[in-house]
Amino acid sequence: MWDGAMPEWFANLLAFGPLFAAMVALVAASAFFSSSETALFSLSPEELDHLRRGGGQGRLATRLLETPDRLLTAILFWNLVVNLSYFAVSVVICRGLITAGLPLLAGMVGAGSVGGIIVFGEVLPKGLAVGFRVPFARAVAFPLSAAVNVLTPILPALNALSRALQRAFWPNLKVEPEFELVDLERAIDELRERREVAEHERDLLQAVLDLAEVRAEELMWPRGHFRMATIAELANRWDEVVLQGRYVVLRDPASAADEAWRYLSLADWSLGARRDIADAVLRLSRPMRFVPWCAPLSDVWQEMAAHRDHVVGVVSEYGDTVGVITVEDLQDFLLDPEAGRARRLVRAEPVREVAPGVWEVDGVVSLRLLARRLGIPAGSIPRDVVTAAGLVQDLLDEIPRPGETANWQGWTIEVVDVQPRNRVRLRWRRQQA
């Protein structure tokens, strides 16, 4: 019969009550940092955009993700401090129980502490954070921002220590990609030989791979093929400056040069807004971001997707705006790569077979795509030549004139006509064997 006396083992556990309370608090802190990492780094671009427009907590969460290395370093640092503190407290409790002659109970507490931190400090909070990442991101934004700011003064020292350790122990460490583009191209060739995919599917896969090789200058609308206007000019020149029927490119009013500044999507526009055109344009237009002329289209796509842009400007090596690329241009490149920008610029079929072995080609056609269509090896294309007209100019070593001819890779290229804006029409004739 129980006499009301407290068991010795239970009395010893109660003696460590404050330490157990500290362990519970540390588990909660570990759960906070674990769930914060999972919630923030699993947000999609659409969810980030929603948070950015959803109030102070959402905007703060997106600002934290603008420096992901800094954020991740802070989360991992504080999580490490919390976990080390948790196990230090656990060791103190276990040692006290062993000293009190309760080794079995000490072992049970040790095993329970490990299981507790795994389940309640990692697995459970991460699982909840994945399922409710947007509410979690809002909830953790303020306390996590404070934790990052506290650590900011020593972050440079931590980064320097990390780099020093890497140089000392892994000086030649390189992150290897999971696969190279050549591996994907080889896989597509295999699928072509086995005929396991339809031709249009293979063409789409090839176009995706070409994004990494084709440069921005090959897809852009050149300066001579679109117009820019100031806000004041829009009312009088509206129909003249609309690009692709979708966008208006605005000229920088503060620059003496004719430089792009912002762009306006007509999808965001309404006829009623023209009553106060200046205010409406500034409110609805977006700042123009720029990419270098030599950037691969994969980088251009990534830049536009990251900022949800519809138009980007293309700048030369001197910093001048030489063209623009729209998101529709990139979509057309993937879905109809053979036409490229040439069909959009000339508003007609740019490559036409007029007789067996004879093709009429517009000079703005991409030389890479033309060579693929005519069966010319891609390795024979000069690296610094982009268009068919550029090839002829390179072969003739002068500006092409009507009637001139050049030979290249088993083809005779004749200059048929040179129109305004140096638009060149060519006739490609296959040479007899």
DSSP H stretches of helix in 16-123: 17-41, 45-52, 56-65, 68-99, 103-118
Tell whether 1 is covered by a domain.
no
How far apart are the C-alpha atoms of 400 and 133, rounded to whole Å?
60
**β-sheet bridge partners, residue 405:** 414
- Residue 124's pLDDT is what? 92
Tell whether 117 is covered by a domain.
yes
Query: Which structural domain range is residue 199 located in?
Result: 181-210
Tell whether 330 is covered by a domain.
yes
Q: Quick one: 295 and 374 in the same domain?
A: no
51-72 pLDDT, tens per residue? 887 778 888 888 888 888 888 8
CATH code, domain with 302 = 3.10.580.10
Q: Quick one: 286 and 193 in the same domain?
A: no
Tell whether 367 is covered by a domain.
yes
How far apart are the C-alpha atoms of 180 and 140, rounded to whole Å?
38
How far apart are the C-alpha atoms of 199 and 267, rounded to whole Å?
34
117-126 pLDDT, tens per residue? 999 989 999 9
pTM of the model: 0.49
Tell whether 92 is covered by a domain.
yes
Q: Quick one: 40 and 125 in the same domain?
A: yes
Q: What mean pLDDT comes out for the span 273-293?
A: 76
Domain tally, the chain: 4
366-409 pLDDT, tens per residue? 777 777 778 787 777 777 777 778 888 888 888 888 888 888 88
Q: Quick one: 75 and 60 in the same domain?
A: yes
Tell whether 324 is covered by a domain.
yes
Q: Quick one: 40 and 165 in the same domain?
A: yes
Q: Quick one: 279 and 312 in the same domain?
A: yes
Q: Quick one: 369 and 247 in the same domain?
A: no
Q: Quick one: 153 and 291 in the same domain?
A: no
Tell whether 174 is covered by a domain.
no
User: Which of 110-119, 244-253, 294-303 bottoms out in mean pLDDT, i.e. has the lowest?
Assistant: 244-253
Q: Quick one: 315 and 244 in the same domain?
A: yes
| Tokens 């068919």 sit on residue | 388
Q: Quick one: 151 and 297 in the same domain?
A: no
User: Which of 139-148, 195-204, 300-309, 360-369 bottoms out in mean pLDDT, i.e. has the lowest?
Assistant: 195-204
Q: Strand 228-229 relative to strand 247-251: parallel, antiparallel, unpaired? A: parallel
Q: Quick one: 324 and 420 in the same domain?
A: no
Greatest Cα pair distance in the chain: 118
Give the CB-side neighbour count of residue 144, counting CA atoms within 13 A: 34
